[in-house]
Amino acid sequence: MLLRMIMRATLHHRLRFSLAVLGLGVSVAMLLYLLAFGDGARNFLRRNLSAFSPQILILPKEYVSSQPLLPRGLADTLREMKVGKVFSILRLPYMGGFPPKAMGVVMGRDFSSSMRFITDYEILRGRDIGDSTRREALVGRGLAKVLGLKVGDSLTVATGRYVVVGIMGGEAELIDNTVIVPLNLLMRDLGTDRVLAIAVSPPPERLNEALDSLKAVLPNYTVQTSRWLADLANSMVAFGDALRLSLSLVSLFVSAVLLFAVMSITVQERRWEFALLRALGATRRFLLASVVGQSALVSLAGWLLGSIVGLLLVAVSDRMIRSRFGLDLLDVSPSSFALSFALAMMIGVLGGLLPAMALLRSNIREGLGG
């Protein structure tokens, strides 16, 4: 009987409820879409940070700067300390074509160290860079595909022209969107004698010892572990999540007000029906459950609509970003689904509970007289 009452009322007021479902659906879709950027960023960091080998990074005090500020000779000084394998890092953004068909990053390969900055790339076609004297380049398969590059082609980096000798790939998307050239030639093309950072990879058991030694001899530099930088990146993602969630909550609040208005009008129009049911012996709990159940069904429908639309938006946006830049930056986690469902159901319960409580406080005689 309760289900028949809920369904009959829902069909009778279908237009009004459709607007409430649509409003809540838009809010849920917005919530899932915005949170997908945070979920995708965390997964992106987790996948890609494992592709880089240094455990300690030495940066200028203004470590957020993208300008090369460290003297390259500092790396030779650190090698004399025997704290681990030391190599210099220089990178710059890469934009292929005009207008840009693809975006990536150029990394300088430091041949003075036996360790590669990117540890897990593999040569898919061609060969690795031979030495630091030849203008050779490795290109990630993502950039190569978008730009139509193959082994033997050439590309311009800064002011230099490099021959592609190999196409590389790996599990991390950054590898697929990276160009690797000899470090000294890249510095010459950029007209600089400085590098962006210096990396140190000590034996794992000597990590803390090496970190303390480097901080003691380099008081004017930022010396941090890769783990610290990863935590910093994650905290920035979390801050972005807070902003995105705030925007979503504003939209959900508007949807909650809309649902409350719809349920209030519906309850007001059905006062005679509810008063008659009370006169025939219906309990307050039964009437309360009918109103709240009706509101919860509307919210459930809105959540289902919003989930479908949100997933479609994420899928389309992710495909566009992946085809353009080769990066997988959007992902919807189970926790985002759970959060959206919990918020939608809370809106549904409160949207029906408040009008129902007002109804139950009204007089039966007044309701029948109306």
Note the pLDDT tens digit of each residue in 225-283.
Answer: 877 777 777 787 788 888 888 888 888 888 888 888 887 777 676 665 665 556 555 56
272 Cβ contact partners less than 8 Å away, ≥ 6 residues apart? 367, 368, 370
Query: Is 189 within 8 Å of 156 (Cβ atoms)?
Result: no
Instruction: Report d(CA 22, CA 55) in Å as an integer.
Output: 50
Q: Which DSSP state fits 140?
A: E
What is the enclosing helix (H) or strand (E) of 292? Answer: helix 284-325
d(CA 342, CA 253) in angstroms, rounded, equals: 14
Q: Are the C-beta atoms of 207 and 55 separated by less than 8 Å? A: yes
Structure tokens at 344: 């939608």
Q: Output the pTM of the full model.
A: 0.66
List residues bridging with 92 in a β-sheet: 106
Cβ atoms of residues 110 and 201 within 8 Å: no
* Measured distance CA(248)–CA(31) in Å, rounded: 5
Pairing relationship of beta strands 194-195 and 70-71 according to DSSP bridges = antiparallel
DSSP helix/strand/coil, 121? coil
Q: Which of 94, 115, 96, 91 is nearest to 183 (CA)?
A: 91
Sequence-separated (6 or more) residues with CB below 8 Å from residue 194: 68, 69, 70, 71, 72, 187
pLDDT-wise least confident of 14-18, 87-91, 166-170: 14-18
Nearest-angstrom CA–CA distance, 229 and 211: 14
Identify the DSSP state of 118: B
pLDDT surpassing 60 at residue 90: yes
Helix (H, G, I), strand (E, B) or coil at 52: strand
C-beta neighbour count of 365 within 10 angstroms: 10
DSSP lists the bridge partners of residue 180 as 107, 138
Rounded CA-CA distance 180/35 in Å is: 33
- Cα–Cα nearest to 174, from 36, 38, 39, 329: 329
Most confident of 44-48, 102-106, 220-224: 220-224
162 has pLDDT over 80: yes
Given its phi and psi angles, is residue 152 left (phi above 0), alpha (psi -120 to 50 degrees) or beta? left
44-48, 66-70, 294-298, 332-336: the lowest-pLDDT one: 44-48
Nearby residues of 104 by Cβ (< 8 Å), 6 or more positions away:
93, 94, 96, 140, 142, 143, 177, 178, 179, 326
Q: Which of 88, 103, 231, 241 is closest to 173 using CA atoms? A: 103
Question: Collapsing DSSP states into helix, strand and coil, what is residue 256?
Answer: helix
The label of the residue with tokens 């093309």 reads 189
Kindly tell me the sign of the dihedral angle through the C-alpha atoms of 66, 109, 179, 155. positive
Q: State mean pLDDT over 320-329.
A: 74
The pLDDT value given to residue 367: 47
Average model confidence (pLDDT) across the chain: 80
Q: Would you tell me how many other CB atoms lie within 10 Å of the CB of residue 324?
A: 13
Going by C-alpha positions, the residue among 342, 256, 348 that lies closest to residue 294 is 348
Band (2; pLDDT cuts 50, 70, 90): very low
The per-residue pLDDT for 4 is 56
